[in-house]
Amino acid sequence: MVVLISGMHRSGTSMIARLLHQCGVYLGEQNDLIPPADDNPEGFWEHAQFRELNEEILETFGGNWDFPPVLEAGWEKKDYLNLIRPRVVGLINQFSGQRIWGWKDPRNSLTLPYWKMFFPKIKVVICLRNPHDVYLSLERRGYSSSSFSYNLWLTYYNRLVAALDAGTFIVTHFESYFYNPKAEVSRVLNFLGVECSNEVIEQACLVVSPGLRNNHSSVSDLVASGASIDLLRMYKNLCRQAGEIFYLSLTDEERELLENVVSDKDLTITDYQNVIRLLRDELAQKINQINSLAELSQNEIVRLKNELNNIYKSRSWKLVQKLQTIKAFFVRG
């Protein structure tokens, strides 16, 4: 199985990649990984050759990580990308003996359609962080405009969400690892199908330290910073998929603000479609869990079924049903 670790820069991708690597997701030999730097002393956990290929793909279309190129539909099949194909195949073959392997690069958020040609069933880990924290982190590195950071953040996740297939991705929030790291790591590992002992997970979680979180912005900080409705809408929709641990990490006030930061009545048809896709994926994951419960205790079965029932009873799911009714009406018309 192949794992692609994605998400906007400065969103905890390095920390999450390191955790997964220590729990059994092979990312390459140590000398193949980009070494630590002053702004990332714990290491990037990026395979140098995969990053180089992603950079070449973006440069081929006239862009870079901080200036994503405008890409037309089907860009990943363009003939001029054939020049890098032998190197891609050669690099992939280096991992042929690994049962579970992958690579981390925020640029994956922009290049996912290309990699899906090689791995149609690739598992995508989406790393998420409060966009205001991302902005503050980029600001310390010379990218001083919040407008620049927010537009870049939105571009990354718009491109990423558009390229996803149902049942192939999981959203994991940076803040979850500072509230209950073991539970969040276990959630991601369960999705990936990685078997790992509690002892190994506990040891891996020791890498989560306060020093990795220089900023801790609230939802209210994000709203007050002038973030656009489009960004708030995308962040809200992704947070809805980030699991229970993330919501437990919020105060009651922040949880309520996040749910109401963009009213559902203000969503566009495209927004509804994105919500539907994300909700259907969550539902598919829950159904798959229920179908594989033969080895679990009866108490675990009851818990998961209750969680599934909560999805059906949620306001978001009722909204999906209403939208489908409206769609059916216009189709008949």
DSSP state string for 126-162: EEE--HHHHHHHHHTTT---HHHHHHHHHHHHHHHHH
Q: H/E element holding 6?
A: strand 2-6
Domain that includes residue 306, residue range? 267-333
Which amino acid is located at 65 in the chain?
W
Regarding whether 331 and 295 lie in a shared domain, the answer is yes
Looking at the structure, tell me whether residues 248 and 281 fall in a common domain: no
**220, 257 contact by CB (below 8 A):** yes
Residues 221 and 152 in one domain: yes
Domain count across the chain: 2
* Count of H-run helices and E-run strands, the chain: 15, 4
Task: State residue 284's pLDDT score.
Answer: 66
Contact 188, 205 (CB under 8 A): no
Q: Which residues contact 207 (CB under 8 A, 6 or more apart)?
A: 15, 18, 19, 22, 42
Predicted confidence at residue 278, as pLDDT, reads 64
Residues 313 and 227 in one domain: no
* 28 and 165 part of one domain: yes
Give the pLDDT confidence score for residue 280 in this predicted structure: 63
Indicate whether 257 and 271 sit together in one domain.
Answer: no
Calpha distance 156→186 (Å, rounded): 26
Please indicate, yes or no, whether residues 212 and 313 belong to a single structural domain of this protein: no
85-97 pLDDT, tens per residue? 999 999 999 999 9
Pair (221, 291) in one structural domain: no
DSSP E strand boundaries for 117-267? 123-128, 169-173
pLDDT computed for residue 236 by the predictor: 95
Clarify whether residues 24 and 87 are in a common domain: yes
Largest CA distance in the chain: 62
149 in the same domain as 294? no
The span from the CA of 136 to the CA of 125, in Å, is 23
The CA distances from residue 293 to 64, 201, 288, 289, 301, in Å, are 45, 22, 9, 6, 7
- Which residues of the chain fall below pLDDT 70? 39-41, 144, 264-298, 315-333
